[in-house]
């Protein structure tokens, strides 16, 4: 939602492509189809959904072939690596969120990773009113991170590795409980990219249908447990899209109705995980 809102706010016209139903990330073949219909597209904005890696090789090859800029929405991806490389290394740019709900945060804010000195200097200029000292060079805004927010990030950064380790243990416990015989065929998890070292930012589960999801969500909330429908609704179903953006993405629209993220934070106890899992299983 935040990514789409930024595009619309700036007067851009988004063109959507469907997702891979296994990874939930952008499907390269769907991108090719969209580019054939809209050859005037200026760039590609894939999302590393839940911190899982897009098919970066195929997507970036498409961008090179078609002369497109590739900017990754890496809001969830801080701490995930692919074959030893941080996901922030890929593309021309990568935008990362440091909002308070993220694995690593500065309460609010984020970062934009560039891969050339020229781009770095331009971004630094744009975020500081477009001037250096008394020299006013271009239009810019105040997009600098405050010292207070930066200090919060510096305090939390040394805890990142341990946070990921604890979250991995919790996810492993969820997996053991929710892939039981009782749940087999009724629940599934997104497939992680080959070569991915995951950051365990989220624990999404995919239900057979929306009715099942809503039954589980209601049962959890009755016990004051708060899962999240992350992401719902599908962006293509929003009423305020421009006409050219109102295309069908059947996989994304279907999965948006069936995905639920269970509670996941480092302090979650084994007993709490068992209780949450038991509630989920009893509603299947």
pLDDT above 70 covers a percentage of the chain that reads 99
The pLDDT value given to residue 249: 97
User: How far from each other are the two terminal CA atoms of the chain, in whole angstroms?
Assistant: 30
This prediction has a pTM of 0.94
Q: Give the pLDDT mean for 59-70.
A: 96
User: In terms of pLDDT, which residue wins out, 182 or 83?
Assistant: 83
Q: Give the pLDDT mean for 112-126.
A: 95
The pLDDT value given to residue 229: 98
Q: Give the pLDDT mean for 49-66.
A: 97
Q: Is the pLDDT of residue 65 over 90?
A: yes
The pLDDT value given to residue 184: 72
On average, the pLDDT of the chain sits at 95
Contacts of 122 (CB under 8 A, 6+ apart): none
Q: Is the pLDDT of residue 182 over 70?
A: no
The pLDDT value given to residue 134: 86
Rounded CA-CA distance 15/245 in Å is 5
Pick the CATH number of 160-283 from 3.40.50.10470, 3.40.50.10320, 3.90.1150.10, 3.30.830.10: 3.90.1150.10
Helix/strand/coil for 44: strand
For the chain, how big is the Rg over CA atoms in Å? 20
Supply φ then ψ for residue 204, to 5 degrees: -85, 140
User: In the chain, which residues fall in CATH 3.40.640.10?
Assistant: 1-159
Burial level of 55, CB count in 10 A (0-12/13-18/19+)? Answer: buried
Q: Give the pLDDT mean for 163-186.
A: 89
User: In the chain, which residues fall in CATH 3.90.1150.10?
Assistant: 160-283
The pLDDT value given to residue 186: 86
Q: Give the pLDDT mean for 99-104.
A: 94
Q: Is the pLDDT of residue 244 over 90?
A: no
Q: Give the pLDDT mean for 250-266.
A: 98
Give how far Cα 1 sits from Cα of 20, 229, 241, Å: 19, 13, 12
B/e letters for 115-133, b = 16+ CB within 10 Å, e = fewer, are: eeeeeeeebebbeebeeee
- Residue 96 is inside which H or E element, if any? strand 93-97
- The side-by-side arrangement of strands in the sheet containing 204-207 is 187-188, 204-207, 259-261
Do residues 50 and 24 touch, judged by C-beta distance below 8 A?
Answer: yes
Q: Measuring CA to CA, which residue among 206, 103, 101, 248 is closest to residue 164?
A: 103
pLDDT above 90 covers a percentage of the chain that reads 93
Rounded CA-CA distance 118/116 in Å is 5
The pLDDT value given to residue 80: 98
Helix/strand/coil for 265: coil
Helix/strand/coil for 238: coil
Q: Measuring CA to CA, which residue among 280, 284, 282, 243 is closest to residue 263?
A: 280
The pLDDT value given to residue 185: 77
Cis peptide before 65 (omega within 30 of 0): no
Q: Is the Cα torsion angle 229, 230, 234, 238 positive or negative in sign? A: positive
Rounded CA-CA distance 258/281 in Å is 16
The pLDDT value given to residue 1: 84
The pLDDT value given to residue 181: 61
Spelled out in words, what is the top-level CATH class assigned to the domain 1-159? alpha beta
Rounded CA-CA distance 33/17 in Å is 8
The pLDDT value given to residue 224: 98
The pLDDT value given to residue 133: 85
Rounded CA-CA distance 63/269 in Å is 44
């Amino acid at each position: 939602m935040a990514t789409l809102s930024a595009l619309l706010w700036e007067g851009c016209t988004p063109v959507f492509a469907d997702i891979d139903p296994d990874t939930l990330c952008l499907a390269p073949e769907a991108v090719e189809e969209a580019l054939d219909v809209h050859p005037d597209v200026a760039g590609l904005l894939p999302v590393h959904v839940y911190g899982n890696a897009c098919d970066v090789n195929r997507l970036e090859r498409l961008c090179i072939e078609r002369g497109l800029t590739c900017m990754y929405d890496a809001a969830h991806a801080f701490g995930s690596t692919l074959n030893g490389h941080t996901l922030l290394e890929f593309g021309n740019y990568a935008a990362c969120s440091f909002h308070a709900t993220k694995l690593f945060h500065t309460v609010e804010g984020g970062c934009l990773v560039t891969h050339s000195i020229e781009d770095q200097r331009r971004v630094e200029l744009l975020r500081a009113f477009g001037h250096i000292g008394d020299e006013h060079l271009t239009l810019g805004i105040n997009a600098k991170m405050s010292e207070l927010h930066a200090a919060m990030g510096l305090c939390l950064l040394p805890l990142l590795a341990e946070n990921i380790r604890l979250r991995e243990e919790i996810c492993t416990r969820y997996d053991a409980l929710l892939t039981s015989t009782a749940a087999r065929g009724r629940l599934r998890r997104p497939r992680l990219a080959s070569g991915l070292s995951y950051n365990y930012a989220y624990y999404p589960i995919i239900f057979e249908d929306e009715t099942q999801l809503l039954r589980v969500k209601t049962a959890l909330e009755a016990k004051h447990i708060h899962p999240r429908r992350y992401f719902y609704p599908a962006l293509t179903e929003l009423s305020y899209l421009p006409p050219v953006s109102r295309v069908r993405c059947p996989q994304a629209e279907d999965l948006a109705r069936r995905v639920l993220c269970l509670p996941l934070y480092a302090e979650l106890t084994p007993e709490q995980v068992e209780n949450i899992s038991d509630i989920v299983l009893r509603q299947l």
